[in-house]
Amino acid sequence: MTLLNLSLLEQAVLLLAALVLFTSFALLSQNRLVASIHIFAWQGALVGSLTALVAAAGGDSHLYISAAMTFVLKALFIPWMLHRLVRRLELDRHVGVLAHPALVMIAGATLVIFSYWVSLPIGRLELAATRNIVAISLAVVLLGLLIMVVRHTAVIQVIGFMSMENGLFLAAVAATRGMPFVVELGVAFDVLVAAILFGVFFLQIRESIDTLDVDQLNRLTEREEDR
Amino acid sequence: MTTILLPLLTPLAGIFVLIFIRSVAIAGWVNLVVSIVTFLASLSLALHIFKVGPWASEMLHVDALNVYLILLTAFIGMSTSIFSRPYMTYVCDQGMTTPAGMRLYHAMYQGFMFTMLLALTTNNLGVMWVALEGATLATVLLVSLYRTPEAVEAAWKYFILCGVGIALALFGTVLVYFAAQHSLSDVSQGLTWTVLYQQASTLDPTVMSIAFVFLLVGYGTKVGLVPLHQWLPDAHSEGPTPMSAVLSGLLLNVALYAVVRMKMLTDGALAGTDNYDLAGHMLMGFGLVSFLVAGLFLHSQRDIKRMFSYSSIEHMGLMTFAFGIGGPLATFGALLHMLVHSLTKSAIFITVGHAAHIAGTQAIDHIRGLIRTQPAVGWGLLIGVVAIAGFPPFGVFTSEFLLLTATMETWPWLTVALLVGLAVAFAGLFRHLHPMVYSAAPEDQQAVPANMIPVAVHLALVLWLGLAIPPFLSSWLDQATQLISGEHLL
């Protein structure tokens, strides 16, 4: 069965999922902090509209609520909060530089291939569409992880973290038509609290080490204790 | 229904009461009262379950595996709150935190208790995830309560590492739900544990084994399995001591509980395939590495709380290994070890809190002569460490002996590794302990007000469990063993 046999709505879902993956790569390569926040907002908006499309395709009414929640939380609230914090901490002109951009991009592409390899056995159960979605969402999760590894600014690490959440949500929505509603509510609540706590942390980190470069957080190592 | 809701609702109500109490002294007492009520409610729940047997509804369920952990959680929550009241008042008087920080502390103490009890009682794997993530969120600001650069760093690491880990666990949970949708008739129950457990054999084995990898790595981060343990020593050493006691005594246990529940599902799904023991082997590998590595790290520690957090990693590794072996004897030993380790380790952390106040530092090199300055604290620490190192007649000896016997029966050559690990850990603990309790005390060292009753009760319970396990407990442990390994031990 090829992808062309899918209904238009389902094809649109796949297209949006691919765009989400694209924004992950954009996040990975973007050096400017404010631009990263904007890309993250776009990613949230894409995940939100994808949820709405799945709801339209499957007819699950509770997915519309999740779509609205995602949109408000991931595309509006969290980017707005990050934006405000960045301005308050006077980081709006911050530009982080990747040490080895080419290597990082290749690593990102490798992660995508790896995700497809992991989800290969899942394809036997279902349509090729599901396998694509599972692979893409796993790739978004892993790319979020990669962003957290290669970037040293606390704000970008948070964006990486939240983009992992986007990947998870994508998996839940597209592969399983959404988790039970109570779980989705709980997850959204956790994300909201986490976002607020991250804001608190930026201020605490700034207060304690006078920068948001988390590489400076290096007091607690085993080596230091041997001194 | 009320019986099961009460232990959950009490700490939940406690959060909202405590966040509004400005007085540090009153908040300490209210925290204590709420914890006592939670414990009494859990006790009545346990009695009820003991009389009528397992109970399940759509949202909550209590069976032999979680009932004793609920009781343990509420008990340690209570005894730590007894310790926490004078301890945190002292901390606040020293100016290490502000009254606003204390309000946050007390509210989040109850918040943490709520998430722990919710993670234990919920019948929904998704809600279990939400509760475990909630536990991180509740405790992360407490780790940075003192606002020193080290504390902020520890909290940041804790937040990021546990957040990332638990995100992978959510991916695993989504995969479980995905597998369930293909085998269950009622899709909406795809995350209900009791339903999944009954129909585990119909779940797709490939998807379940991929899911288990994610779940193990995810929840394993919270258990503190090497190499995902980096957050644990930092968070334990920099946070307030009552937090270290409950993190070590409760959070690690509940995370391991989540791993075990997932293993039960995976085992069910993989039962007929070639890889039927995949989950067990993975647990054994992670567990053994954690056990050995943490034992070695014990030797190089300079901070007393860091040292005992490595000891926690070591013991969690041992339990994970035992659940991995899987037979009834190993499972029974692991369940018992969860119980005695929590009791002993929280008692040790309480004592360590007092010891650090006596010496005015957490540096092992500067804690000296505890028995001379304050015999209760010195002896408490000594007996606690003797118990955790696995000496008879304490309960840790009993469980470790069961585990060694089980290993001897199944994987004889691994017994050597276990014995070496135990000896290394023993040496690591005692080389630091000896000068701390016995040597001459510095001249200006003063005794501090210390309430050693919780420590005495914990250690007495561990001693009791080492001498004789009461019948109600052994029947629960046996039923839980049957649930996990499929066979009764007794």
Q: Which residues in B284-330 belong to E strands, given as ranges?
A: none
- With CA atoms as reference, the chain B residue closest to A180 would be B188
- With CA atoms as reference, the chain A residue closest to B301 would be A225
Report the alpha-carbon distance of residue A88 to residue A92 in Å, rounded. Answer: 9
What is the pLDDT of chain A when averaged over all its residues?
Answer: 84
What DSSP state is assigned to residue A93? T
Per-residue pLDDT tens digits for A142-180: 999 999 888 888 888 889 999 999 998 888 887 777 788
A219 interface with B at CB cutoff 8 Å: yes
What DSSP state is assigned to residue B62? E
Secondary structure (3-state) at A21? helix
| B449 assigned to some structural domain | yes
Per-residue pLDDT tens digits for A15-72: 999 999 999 999 998 888 889 999 999 999 999 999 898 888 876 788 888 889 889 9
> How many domains in chain B?
1
Per-residue pLDDT tens digits for A172-221: 887 777 788 888 888 888 888 888 888 888 888 887 777 777 777 777 76
- In this structure, chain B runs to a length of 490
Cβ A157–B159 below 8 Å, yes or no? Answer: no
Inter-CA distances, B272 with B215, B292, B345, Å:
21, 33, 40
Q: Which residues of A touch B160 (CB under 8 A)?
A: 148, 157, 161
The model's confidence at residue B227, banded by pLDDT at 50, 70 and 90, is confident
| B302 assigned to some structural domain | yes
Q: Retrieve residue B218's tokens.
A: 């995810």
Cβ A201–B152 below 8 Å, yes or no? Answer: yes
Per-residue pLDDT tens digits for B451-475: 889 999 999 999 999 999 898 888 8
Comparing C-alpha atoms, which of B411, B418, B420 is closest to residue B318? B418
Q: Which of residues 368-407 of B touch A (CB under 8 A)?
A: none
Among candidates A148, A187, A225 on the partner chain, residue whose Cβ is nearest the Cβ of B302? A225
Among candidates B130, B159, B302 on the partner chain, residue whose Cβ is nearest the Cβ of A183? B130
User: Cis peptide leading into B227, omega within 30 of 0?
Assistant: yes
The model's confidence at residue B312, banded by pLDDT at 50, 70 and 90, is very high
Which residue is listed with tokens 């969120």? Answer: B137
| B403 assigned to some structural domain | yes
A78 Cβ neighbours under 8 A, 6+ residues apart: A40, A44, A162, A191, A195
> How many domains in chain A?
1
Cβ A118–B124 below 8 Å, yes or no? Answer: no
Q: Which candidate in B178, B232, B293, B361 is best for mutational testing of the A interface (most A CBs within 10 A)?
A: B178
Q: Which of residues 225-264 of B touch A (CB under 8 A)?
A: 233-234, 237-238
Predicted interface score ipTM higher than 0.85: yes
* Bridge partner residues of A32 (DSSP): A95
Secondary structure (3-state) at B451? coil
A101 interface with B at CB cutoff 8 Å: no
Give me the pLDDT at residue A3, please.
66
| Model confidence at A226: pLDDT above 50 | no
| Domain residue limits at B436 | 277-490
Q: Retrieve residue B104's tokens.
A: 């946050």
**Residue B140 contacts residue B243 (beta carbons within 8 Å):** no
Cβ B207–A193 below 8 Å, yes or no? Answer: no
B296 interface with A at CB cutoff 8 Å: no
Which residue is listed with tokens 């980017």? Answer: A79
Contact pairs from chain A to chain B, CB under 8 Å: 142
| Model confidence at B146: pLDDT above 90 | no
- pTM metric for this prediction: 0.93
- With CA atoms as reference, the chain B residue closest to A147 would be B164
| Model confidence at A125: pLDDT above 80 | no
Give the mean pLDDT of B304-318. Answer: 93
| B305 assigned to some structural domain | yes
A170 Cβ neighbours under 8 A, 6+ residues apart: A17, A20, A47, A50, A133, A136, A137, A140
The model's confidence at residue A1, banded by pLDDT at 50, 70 and 90, is low
* Bridge partner residues of A142 (DSSP): none
Cβ A207–B127 below 8 Å, yes or no? Answer: no
B184 interface with A at CB cutoff 8 Å: no
Cα B221 to chain centroid distance, Å, stands at 13
Per-residue pLDDT tens digits for B102-143: 899 999 999 999 999 999 999 999 999 999 999 989 988 888
Q: Retrieve residue B19's tokens.
A: 């966040």
Q: Which of residues 134-173 of A touch B (CB under 8 A)?
A: 134, 137-138, 141, 145, 148, 154, 157, 161, 164-165, 167-168, 171-172
Q: Retrieve residue B318's tokens.
A: 């041992």
Give the mean pLDDT of A133-144. Answer: 91
Burial of B132 (0-12, 13-18, 19+ CB in 10 A): buried
A223 interface with B at CB cutoff 8 Å: no
Report the alpha-carbon distance of residue B246 to residue B227 in Å, rounded. Answer: 22
Q: How far apart are the first and last CA of chain A?
A: 64
Q: Which long-range contacts (CB under 8 A, 24 or more apart) does A64-70 make?
A: A65/A181, A66/A173, A66/A178, A66/A181, A66/A184, A66/A188, A69/A184, A69/A188, A70/A44, A70/A169, A70/A188
Please report how many Cα atoms fall inside a 13 Å half-sphere around the Cα of residue B39, on the Cβ side: 17
Q: Which of residues 323-362 of B touch A (CB under 8 A)?
A: none
**Residue B7 contacts residue B118 (beta carbons within 8 Å):** no
* Bridge partner residues of B122 (DSSP): B60
B57 interface with A at CB cutoff 8 Å: no
B435 interface with A at CB cutoff 8 Å: no
Burial of B146 (0-12, 13-18, 19+ CB in 10 A): middle
**Residue A43 contacts residue A24 (beta carbons within 8 Å):** yes
B291 or B447, higher pLDDT: B291
Report the alpha-carbon distance of residue B476 to residue B461 in Å, rounded. Answer: 17
| Domain residue limits at A30 | 3-226
